[in-house]
Structures are given as C-alpha cells and as structure tokens.
Amino acid sequence: MYMILKPLIALVAWTAFSVVAAEQCATPPKLRRVQVNTEVKHIDLGVSGGSGPSIAANGTDFFLMQFAIDLPEPVYDGWNITLRFDKTIFMIQNLEADLIEHNADNTTLIFGPKEWNQDLKPGFQWQAWQGSCAGSPLHVLESYLSYDPTALPPSRPPPRPLHMEPPGVTVHLPVEGEKFNLAKSLQFSMLFYEAQRSGRMPSNKRVSWRFDSGLDDGKDVGLDLTGGYHDAGDHIKFIFPGAAATTLLAWGGLAFEEGYKGAKEMGNLLDCVKWSTDYLMKLHTGKDEMYVQISDKPTDHFVFVRPEDMTKTRRSYKVTCANPGSQPVLESAAALAASHLLFKAHVGEGGGEDAFDRIPDYDETYVASLLQHAEELFDFAVRCPGHYVEDGKVPADCCYGGGPWGDEEAWAALWLFKATGKDAYLAHAKATYHTCCSPYKQRDPFNAYTQFGWDNKEAGVNLLLYQLTQEEPYAYALKSHLNGWVDGDPIARTPAGLSYVSQWGSLRVAANQAFLALLAAEEGLRSEDYRSYAKSQIYYILGDCCRNTTTGEVMKTYQMGFGPVHPRNPHHRATACDLQGECECSDRGSYHILYGAIVGGPREDDSHHDKCPDFIT
C-alpha cells in the first residue's frame, strides 16, 4: 500500500501547489455599491468591545479583525459592508471582499463582494481581516451589512457539456483491500504537469487540447527563453515557485523510486522534471546572471485567454550582481542538484515497454551539466546576495514575493552536498542554519508555525540535516514542527480531518506537511503516527473528505478526473477555453478536464466553492 502512497504524497503536494493561483492574481473584480432604487436592508454588526468585530493588535500599527454575520435570509446579487473606525486606516485586506469606497481620512470604508460571492447563505463566516492603521488601540465605531432583500436568486444557465478527452494513461487496477486506486491518482498527477507546459509541445504529448505557446518568450532580449511551466491557471512563468516544485518532484523520485516504478510512472516523472531542468539551464545565460520571470501581472493576469492565444511579446526579467535575486537563483541551484541525483540514478535505463516506456533522451553529459549549473548558480547567489523583488526589481510581489533567503541558501547547500560530497557545502548549510532554520531563532510573530512550501524550507532543511548527520538537534527541530500538525495542536483540523491554516491553498499546505511527515517516518521519527497522518491528508483529498456518513460512499474528490464527482470549475485559463479560443470563467463547467489537478481546497468547515472566478478555492 505505502509503495505507491509515498510517491503520490510527494507529487500531490506539488500538484496542489501548482494549480493554486497566488494572492491578487485574478481577473479584475466588479466593484459596485448595492443599488438603492429598492428598499435596502441593513444588519447592524455591532462595535468593538461588544458583540461586534473583535480586533487584536500586532505591534503598534498592525491589526487583525474578525467578525461573524448572523444572516436571517439568503443574500443575492451583491452586498456591502460599511466599517467606521476611530483611526485612519492605511491598509486593509480580506480574501472575500474588495474596498470600493472610503472617506477623505480613511476612517469610513465600504466593501463589496468578489466576483464569486455576490450571494451569501445563512451561516456564512468571514476569514480574518488584516491591515495597518494610525496607532493602537483601534476601535470599530460602527459596522453594518447592506443588501437588497427583494433580489432573486440568479437564473443559472445549463451546465456546459463536458469534453471527455481520454486521459492518455493506462490505468492500473487498485491494490486489493485499498480504498483508492493510488496508481491512477499518481498517473493523473503527472498529466497535470503536462497540461501546464509552455513552449513547443513534443510529438508524444498526452494532453490533446494543449498546443505550442509562448514561442516569442525571450524575444525582447534577443534570446530563446521558451519552455518551462505556466504557474497555476495563468500564463506567467515564475521561476522561484517553479524551481521549488522541481526540487520536490526530484526528491520524491529519489525517495520513493519503488512506488513510481510500481505505477509505471518513472519515465513520465523524469520527463516532467527534465522539462523544467532544460528550462532552468536555458535561463542561466551567464556566470552571474539568470532570468527569473517571464511576463508580469498587468500583461497576463488581466487577460483570460488560452496560453496559445497569448502571442504578444512578453517582458523577460533577470537578476545580476547589480540587481541581485537570491531566492529564485538558490532554489534553481537546489532543483538542478536534486535533479542531477535523480537523472544520475537512471542513466541508461531507457527503452522497454514497462516503467520506462517514455523515458526522456539524456546521457551522462546532461547529468554533469545539471550539476555544473547548480554549483555556478549557488556561487552567484552567495557572492551577490539580495531580495529579487526589492533589490532585483522583479515584479513578483503580486504573487510570489518571498521572504528572507537564508533557508533557500541552506537548502541549496545541502542538495549540493548530497550531489557532490564536498564538505564545504555541508559546513555552509550548518553555518547558515542558525540564522534561518533553528527553532531557537527569532521568528516572525505572524509565522510561528511555518508552512513548508515554495517560500519556506526551514522544516526541509532540518529533515535533510538529520538525514545526513543523524544529529539529535535536527530531529528535535523537525519533530517540534511536525508535531504541531500531526497532533492537531496548534494546527487544528477541519471536522473531516484536514489540517487547516488558511483558506488560501488549504489542500496544498496539508499535502506538503504530509510529504514531510512521510519522509520523517522513513527516518524512524514517530513512524506510525507520521505515516498515519500523511495517509489521512492524502485520503482526505482523494475522497475521505466527502463520504456519505451512512453508506460510506465517496461523494466527491478534490483531484480532477479521479472520481465520478470532482471539481469542474478550476480557475484555469487553458481549461476554461475551447479549441476555438472561446473562454468562459463561470460555474457552468470547464471545457476540458484538467486531469490530476488539485484545486485550492475547502474552508475550515469542509465546504468548497467550485466556481472558476474564485481563484482561492
């Protein structure tokens, strides 16, 4: 059972990561006030200190605010929330509302719905609001919800006929006694990455509705920068999170080789990783320069078309010693070093009709080039440190801005030590560890329990250090991190069992932790508990989330194409457009099935919005 579960956990973690759009990366919302040509109803939400919004200060000028709305009836076709504060508000954010009006001194603010939540049901709960203000304490003097009680439910067009393209894989029978066909899920996960490809499609492509795209990438700088993967459901090529996904894919292939071979997917995994590593090496255009992003939010995110129809020249962004960018460069070094190990393990295994029927074409020269680029990129990043948004002026702050890069530096050094055996890399990682990844370092109060993911490798660094040294302090740090998730304290579970931190990419976060837990179990750390936790999180995604409590029947899965009932409306441009380029982002069903994709995920009560405009879930 665990033979295939292990690589599936590794792959699902980063499948989920790739399909979740980053914050603020969506089509522009329609902002409007509730019309007052009818009787507008107001619900008083109260004031601070009573039954109204509760506010917690974080420092002198940052705040978190929460409140609930007891709706007596459904709300249709729009609403507004008005908040009046006793101090000037400099910034305020909420994932479910947009600021549409404010007074001159920013003490009274009016919010409207996102595109996907024009309607509200009784029992609706708000996610936390956060912002900054002119000092503390901050108080709400007045708050109310306004809506039109005479508005009627929207008339829904009929669901769009679903194009049932064959998935392009030979699905294997499930293991006897296992509730889910894990080999099938693993195979579908690989298909998701193929649907994300940019550049010239290969002759052996398996996703029939994807064609050449981004063929002019790099034209603005006189280079060929075609290839790589699109991020989430969009067109921008972000190298920092893309390289992070590559590192983890390679790690999964190294750690769980038997499972990939059992599912007959090792060739497809190598093909998937090579599509990325080819691109990362292509982006490393000089000893001290690397292109780390193609296009930007204004150019691509406000255009909802197929990737094939994005034909205008897109801007290429690079980092150099004069404009440094440590995060994507270090993560690329880690990705290439980990991939070097993966490809080295399978040189000469091409051919045959079984596990390696689609193995990519590469040789020992290619394997060596991966390591050469990895070492050069690490050297470049260490000699020329800097934040790639603030110092490198790369416009990734909309979506993948990134924090400090000490964890990426230790992470890359450890992968290079594994690839080269050079003690200098291990020493570098240990020296960096105490400022980036030790449980005793001063943590950001907003991030006391860090989430292992594209921007934070702290837990991964502790795991690698323990694997390499077997020293107890690293095991302690790793267990301190994982126990908070596995034991449900302080990281709580939804009623159906998902570890839940935020509505933003809730499945991706849980899957990443499951991956870490399984690797830690392989090292003998709380093996039974950690394996059980990892299995529970992946099974939640595959259908344990949504079983009929009486019959036990799976009612829904969060992996597209995996079960009879799965999400049909991902926020994904290529999927929402037909072959003629007609696109519709709605809740009528996409034109194509995005096999293997894991959507953003549910709320903390296990409810889920399957609506294309909702780029969070």
Residue 208, pLDDT > 60, answer: yes
What pLDDT sits at residue 510?
95
Residue 359, pLDDT > 80, answer: no
What pLDDT sits at residue 3?
62
598 vs 158, which has greater pLDDT? 598
Task: Indicate the range of 214-218, 230-234, 301-305 predicted with least confidence.
Answer: 301-305
CATH number among 1.10.274.100, 1.50.10.10, 1.20.120.1200, 1.10.510.10, domain 2-26+183-546:
1.50.10.10
Where do the CATH 1.50.10.10 domains begin and end in the chain?
2-26+183-546
Residue with the two structure tokens 């370092």: 441
Helix axes 326-344, 406-420, angle to 10 degrees: 20
Cis peptide before 490 (omega within 30 of 0): yes
Q: Are 207 and 241 in contact (CB under 8 A)?
A: no
pLDDT digits (tens, 9 = 90+) for 48-75: 655 667 776 655 677 778 777 777 788 8
- pLDDT band, residue 36 (cuts 50/70/90): very low
Q: How many CB atoms lie within 10 A of CB 567?
A: 26
Element spanning 91, H or E: strand 89-93
What pLDDT sits at residue 337?
99
What pLDDT sits at residue 157?
57
- pLDDT band, residue 309 (cuts 50/70/90): very high
213 vs 97, which has greater pLDDT? 213
What pLDDT sits at residue 79?
85
What pLDDT sits at residue 159?
63
**CA torsion, ordered 375, 380, 386, 390, to nearest 10 deg:** -100
Where do the CATH 2.60.40 domains begin and end in the chain?
41-147
Residue 41, pLDDT > 80, answer: no
Cα dihedral sign, 550-555-559-563: positive
Q: Are 597 and 15 in contact (CB under 8 A)?
A: yes
Residue 123, pLDDT > 70, answer: no
Q: How many residues does the structure list for the chain?
A: 617
Q: Are 466 and 478 in contact (CB under 8 A)?
A: yes
What pLDDT sits at residue 496?
94
pLDDT digits (tens, 9 = 90+) for 513-565: 999 999 999 999 999 999 999 999 999 999 999 877 777 777 889 999 998 88
Task: Indicate the range of 288-292, 359-363, 427-431, 461-465 predicted with least confidence.
Answer: 359-363
What pLDDT sits at residue 11?
60
User: pTM for the whole thing?
Assistant: 0.80
Q: How many CB atoms lie within 10 A of CB 175?
A: 16
Q: How many CB atoms lie within 10 A of CB 177?
A: 6
What integer best gives the mean pLDDT of the chain?
A: 85
Q: How many CB atoms lie within 10 A of CB 363?
A: 11
Report the C-alpha gap between 175 and 196 in whole angstroms. 29
Q: Are 352 and 435 in contact (CB under 8 A)?
A: no
24 vs 404, which has greater pLDDT? 404
pLDDT digits (tens, 9 = 90+) for 455-490: 999 999 999 999 999 999 999 999 999 999 999 988
pLDDT digits (tens, 9 = 90+) for 328-353: 999 999 999 999 999 999 988 765 55
pLDDT digits (tens, 9 = 90+) for 432-456: 999 998 876 644 433 435 789 999 9
285 vs 617, which has greater pLDDT? 285
Task: Indicate the range of 60-69, 94-103, 164-173, 402-411 predicted with least confidence.
Answer: 164-173
Residue 236, pLDDT > 70, answer: yes
Task: Indicate the range of 4-8, 96-100, 143-147, 611-615 predicted with least confidence.
Answer: 4-8
- Winning range, highest mean pLDDT, from 310-319, 326-335, 389-398: 326-335
What are 526's two structure tokens? 């709380």
Residue 355, pLDDT > 60, answer: no
What are 27's two structure tokens? 């089509």
Task: Indicate the range of 22-36, 116-130, 183-197, 494-508 predicted with least confidence.
Answer: 22-36
Q: What is the 3-state secondary structure (H, E, C) of 341-383?
A: HHHHCCCCCCCCCCCCCCCCCCCHHHHHHHHHHHHHHHHHHHH
What pLDDT sits at residue 8?
63
Residue 117, pLDDT > 80, answer: no
Cis peptide before 137 (omega within 30 of 0): yes
Residue 498, pLDDT > 90, answer: yes
Task: Indicate the range of 32-46, 382-396, 500-514 predicted with least confidence.
Answer: 32-46
What pLDDT sits at residue 357?
54
Architecture in CATH of 41-147: Sandwich (2.60)
Residue 576, pLDDT > 70, answer: yes
What are 251's two structure tokens? 């790690």
Residue 218, pLDDT > 50, answer: yes
Q: Are 340 and 418 in contact (CB under 8 A)?
A: no
